[in-house]
Amino acid sequence: MKDLIKYIIPAILITGLFSCEDLFEPVNENRLTPDYVETDPESAEGILLHAYTGLISHTTLTATATDDAVSNNLGDELKRMATGQLSAQFNPVQRWSKYTEIFYINKFINIIESDKVRWNQNDTVNLLFKERLLGEALAMRAIYHFYILEAHAGMSSSNQLLGIPYYEKYLTEDDDFNLPRLTFQATVDKITTDLDKAIELLPMVYSDEVGDVLPRHRIYRHDHYIVANGEQFDLRISGKIARAVKARVELFAASPSFLNGGGYYERAANTAAALINTLGGISEIGDDFEFYLTDASFKSGEIIWRSAMEGSEGSAWLETNNFPPSVNGSGDINPSHNLVSAFPMENGYPATTENGYDPQNPYQSRDPRLAAFIVCNGQTLYAGARIVTGLGGGFDRVDSIVERSTHTGYYMKKLMRNDVRINNDGTVVGKKHANVYFRLTELFLILAEAANEIGGPDYAVGGMTARDIIGAIRERAGIEQPDAYLASIASVEGMRELIRNERRIELCFEGHRFWDMRRWGLPLNESVKGYFHNGTQYVEIPVVEPRTFPAHAKYLPIPYSEILKFPALEQNQGW
């Protein structure tokens, strides 16, 4: 980690320094110094903007390391990890390298606090910029520490639940990096403290219509306010986003693998409920569960935080990688039959024969989200292309016999735009995409999980219960009403199982399942199953790919190289 410092300042000197019109003009290299960067507003802000490039989005497809999917790419690192190669030397989901962004952020906070940069010639606007930028930096510092905590917290060899080192100042290469890990709770409290400070400084949203009052209730002229907090900054971290992230952190802390409550379910529930009610309440669940299909859906109320939309020509990398072969994709991510079985019947009951499930007509009368999120055998995609993953089907048999065809009998459909075209001649009609960092549905699921753990299915926080929230999500999905199965659940345990299943379905392929299984302490070694039609009947393949995690893998390792360099770091048990 210490070696990273020597590379930060040179990178800062480049970040944010050149505009398009500067690109072909000679630059006076004598001005590219730390002193220049620390006094020039555009260059200084470039340090903060660098942190936005490392955010983790919903297209970080860790599902292939879980019981939700496999990759048909034999060299896939997640496949290697999930089938027995995970170690402190090989860990493709490690996040220790995210400390790089934290050092950038702390450097920026130093610049803010030094008052060397004049952000605007007007004193009032200058103060508004300073407060907002400091709020952004504190929130981003909390987010990156949370990324690392989520991946590396765990039980140490001395049987203590540990977090991570928390860096609150910019260190030079001569400073001491050999810091011990904080306790888990101390780390969580550092993260939430930074988020609380950020919330005090940030506008709830960036808008030209938000009014003249900052959270501190100081009055500013409207024209002054919007220069620093107007809609032109809409995709930067805001008070709304910081509150949502805080709820995520608090639920993580409360989870069974960590503090198992400890007051953090209450914190998570209160944080989530307050934000939901500010946004409009349970009615905001709306009717959009396919948030990724159009340009407009990325700009809807379902998206709490996302990146900018891609350029006018868009892209098709996600579709190229994951469309079935018959429509010229590589079919990379293959959902499991385990996941398909988690989708209930259309009447809301689990998909069992007792509830009307027919193993030889397996996709009939199922939750509409199944057809929306997963390509099943016989499903028709755009332009009339029928995807056949079993025997029969003429030309479409390519979806079950070529090198990159499905290993499980399914292809991923969620996240991809069905108006992208990959033509036979290799040309592509791309569409706009965006990286999504936080969805409104996740916020509702945080509240449902926390409220149920506090007081059961009908315990209300902010006027909302777990039953209310899960009912609204399932009704939006198209589950038949009234939802008799939901009404039948009376216990904390029954509602917990349903909430976890709804979270698995609603957030599938968005990078949550891998981390949820660990925070819940669920078994990690359930083999991935497949389901194919053999020309006569559907047959289950009980082991398409095993899951071979060691018993201690709910807590992931600190990278071995860091343990070697810094003896104050204590490794998690078993690694």
Task: Write the pLDDT tens digit of every residue in 274-321.
Answer: 999 999 999 999 888 888 888 888 889 999 999 999 877 889 999 999
Give me the pLDDT at residue 395, please. Answer: 54
- The per-residue pLDDT for range 69-81, each reduced to its tens digit, is 999 998 899 999 9
HSE-CB at 89 with a 13 A cutoff on CA atoms is 2
Per-residue confidence band for 3, with pLDDT thresholds at 50, 70 and 90: low
Q: What is the largest CA-CA distance in the chain?
A: 78
Average pLDDT value for residue range 136-143: 98
238, 206 contact by CB (below 8 A):
yes
pLDDT digits (tens, 9 = 90+) for 190-207: 999 999 999 999 999 999
pLDDT of 220 > 90? The answer is no
Is the pLDDT at 41 greater than 60, yes or no? yes
pLDDT digits (tens, 9 = 90+) for 148-171: 999 999 999 889 999 999 999 998
| 62-114 pLDDT tens trace | 999 999 999 999 889 999 999 999 999 999 999 999 999 999 999 999 999 99
Tell me the whole-structure pTM to 2 decimals: 0.93
Could you give the 3-state DSSP secondary structure of residue 433?
coil
State the pLDDT at residue 214.
53
d(C-alpha 308, C-alpha 236), whole Å: 10
405, pLDDT greater than 60: yes
What whole-number distance in Å separates Cα of residue 441 and Cα of residue 302? Answer: 7
Q: Tell me the average pLDDT of the chain.
A: 91
**Could you read off the pLDDT of 449-479 as tens digits, one per residue?**
999 999 999 999 999 999 999 999 999 999 9
d(CA 555, CA 94): 11
2-61+93-287+558-565: CATH topology: 1.25.40
More confident residue, 491 or 290: 491
- Pairing assessment for the beta strands 333-335 and 69-71 based on DSSP bridges: antiparallel
| pLDDT tier, 520 (very low <50, low <70, confident <90, very high otherwise) | very high
Specify the pLDDT at position 277: 97
Distance CA 315, CA 433 (A): 7
In percent, how much of the chain has pLDDT > 90?
A: 79
Helical H segments across 376-483, by residue range: 398-401, 440-455, 466-477
205-236 residues labelled b (16+ CB within 10 A) or e (exposed): bbeeebeeebeeeeebeeebbbbbbbeebebb
Percent of the chain at pLDDT exceeding 70: 91
Kindly state the helix (H) or strand (E) to which residue 437 belongs, with its residue range: strand 436-439
Torsion of CA 451, 453, 459, 464, to 10 degrees: 20
What are the residue ranges spanned by the domains of the chain? Answer: 2-61+93-287+558-565, 317-433
Output the six-digit token pair for 146.
Answer: 């949370």
pLDDT of 522 > 60? The answer is yes
> Is there a contact between 137 and 154 (Cβ–Cβ < 8 Å)?
no
Partners of 71 in beta bridges: 333
Report d(CA 104, CA 102) in Å as an integer. 5
Cβ–Cβ < 8 Å for 339, 366: no
Average pLDDT over residues 336-351: 98
Q: Where are the beta strands (DSSP E) in 168-236?
A: none
Q: What angle do CA 24, 30, 32 make, to 5 degrees?
A: 70
pLDDT one-digit tens code per residue, 358-396: 999 999 999 999 999 999 999 998 767 889 998 755 555
Task: Give 4-25 pLDDT, tens digit per residue.
Answer: 444 444 444 333 322 333 433 4
What CA–CA distance (Å, rounded) separates 217 from 201? 11
What gap in Å lies between CA 133 and CA 139, rounded to an integer?
10
Pairwise CA distance, residues 78 & 67, whole Å:
12
pLDDT the model gives residue 210: 55
Gap between the Cα atoms of 13 and 386, Å rounded = 53
Asked whether residue 30 carries a pLDDT value surpassing 60, the answer given is no
